[in-house]
Amino acid sequence: MSTSPRKLISIVTPVWNEELNVLDCYEAVRQLFETQLAGYDYEHIFCDNASTDRTVEILRELAARDRRVRVILNARNFGPARSVFNGLLATRGDAVVPLLAADQQDPPEVIVEFVRHWEAGHEVVFGIRANREEGWLMRSARRAYYRLVTRFADIHIPPDVGEFQLIDRVVVDALRRCDDYYPYLRGLIASCGFRAVGVSYTWRARRKGLSKNRLYHLVDQGLNGLISFTNIPLRLCLLFGLLLAAASLLFAIVVFVVNLIYFRELSPPGIPTLIVAIFFFSGVQLFFFGVLGEYISAIHAQVRKRPLVVERERINF
């Protein structure tokens, strides 16, 4: 009597100077597949962005004793977005978790619920960060950003959803056709379509070490999310330029009436004209910058042909 092969689930974890967390992350995944997900095989792919601490040493030790651990060592730090997408392309699983953070702020045990929905026929199971164990300011800023992207994106990107998801192999194959130098993964997954369902959970506070995502990186990732799936920023610049130009014309009319009819000595000769000219031409310039931006954005999307990452070594592939 033949038995069907066990399904393979791939887990991708990007790391950079995570010596305090990488072993705990490995153990959490291993225990998960030895208990609640014992009926599945798995591979755990760690994508290292040129760590300078003991992270690589620990990964080599893990890979030496466990063939399910596969390691991609990048030549330099290419950032989590590119590193994760490159790791995603290297997976072999029937289903893939594109990003499980090494600090386990996204709880690994939620993967059990992901798998249950996947087996029920959903090709995409996304995690919803319904609650966050962080300060009010950052929690409010993230909430506002997610809703901004959802509101203005050309496609529906669910709010409060990150890259902690489970996607079917058919979705991975669709993502392989995406040629984007700076992939906004949650948006790319949403753009593929397919049957999707969400699972709510609490995004936990980091237990060990410091977050590597500084304010600059958060802003950079946020802007990438906005410009990748919407041209609203360009349209807003264009609209602002039109409004400013219109306001300058209105101001010119008011100045003409006030200075030439009622109060000729209100201001030195030429100053009102100079003010009007500055505001008017500033508005015109912003208007044309917006128009040019539309074309530059289209060109920019086509010519970004640099490699996602440059790898130094692969282990257990």
Phi then psi for 76, rounded to 5 degrees? -155, 180
Q: Across 84-243, where does the E strand assignment appear?
A: 95-97, 124-132, 161-168, 196-203
**Euclidean distance between CA atoms 206 and 135, whole angstroms:** 12
User: Domain check: are 144 and 210 in the same one?
Assistant: yes
- The structure tokens 């999307």 sit at 301
- Name the average pLDDT for the chain: 82
Domains of the chain: total: 2
Q: Note whether residue 170 is domain-resident.
A: yes
User: Domain check: are 216 and 245 in the same one?
Assistant: no
Q: How confident is the model at residue 2 (pLDDT cuts 50, 70, 90)?
A: very low
User: Domain check: are 81 and 138 in the same one?
Assistant: yes
User: Domain check: are 127 and 220 in the same one?
Assistant: yes
Q: What is the pLDDT of residue 168?
A: 94
Domain boundary among 230, 258, 291: 230
Exposure string for 218-241, b = 16+ CB within 10 A, e = fewer = eeebbebbbbbbbbbebeebbeeb
- Is the pLDDT at 291 greater than 70? The verdict is no
Alpha-carbon dihedral 181, 198, 161, 237, rounded to 10 degrees = 80
**Euclidean distance between CA atoms 67 and 242, whole angstroms:** 61
Query: Domain range for residue 52?
Result: 8-230
Which of 253, 241, 252 is closest to 281 using CA atoms? Answer: 241
User: Domain check: are 105 and 212 in the same one?
Assistant: yes
**Reading across the β-sheet that carries 95-97, which strands appear in turn?**
196-203, 124-132, 161-168, 95-97, 8-15, 41-48, 69-74, 311-315
- Is the pLDDT at 280 greater than 90? The verdict is no
Of 35-44, 132-141, 282-291, highest mean pLDDT: 35-44
Q: What is the pLDDT of residue 242?
A: 78
Q: Note whether residue 317 is domain-resident.
A: no
Residue 75 · residue 307 · CB < 8 Å: no
Q: Note whether residue 311 is domain-resident.
A: no
User: Domain check: are 144 and 76 in the same one?
Assistant: yes
Q: How confident is the model at residue 218 (pLDDT cuts 50, 70, 90)?
A: low
Residue 44 · residue 13 · CB < 8 Å: yes
User: Domain check: are 196 and 241 in the same one?
Assistant: no
Q: What is the pLDDT of residue 155?
A: 77
Domain boundary among 181, 207, 230: 230
Over residues 219-258, the pLDDT tens digits come to 666 666 666 677 677 777 777 777 877 877 787 777 777 6
Q: How confident is the model at residue 294 (pLDDT cuts 50, 70, 90)?
A: low
Over residues 130-177, the pLDDT tens digits come to 887 777 787 787 788 777 777 777 777 888 888 899 999 999 999 988
Domain boundary among 230, 264, 284: 230
Over residues 176-205, the pLDDT tens digits come to 888 777 788 888 888 888 889 999 888 877
In terms of pTM, does the model score above 0.75?
Answer: yes
User: Domain check: are 223 and 250 in the same one?
Assistant: no
**Euclidean distance between CA atoms 237 and 223, whole angstroms:** 15
For residue 203, give the amino acid letter: W
Helices (H), 21-135: 22-34, 55-65, 80-89, 110-119
Q: What is the pLDDT of residue 44?
A: 96
Q: In the chain, what percentage of residues exceed pLDDT 70?
A: 82
Residue 10 · residue 45 · CB < 8 Å: yes
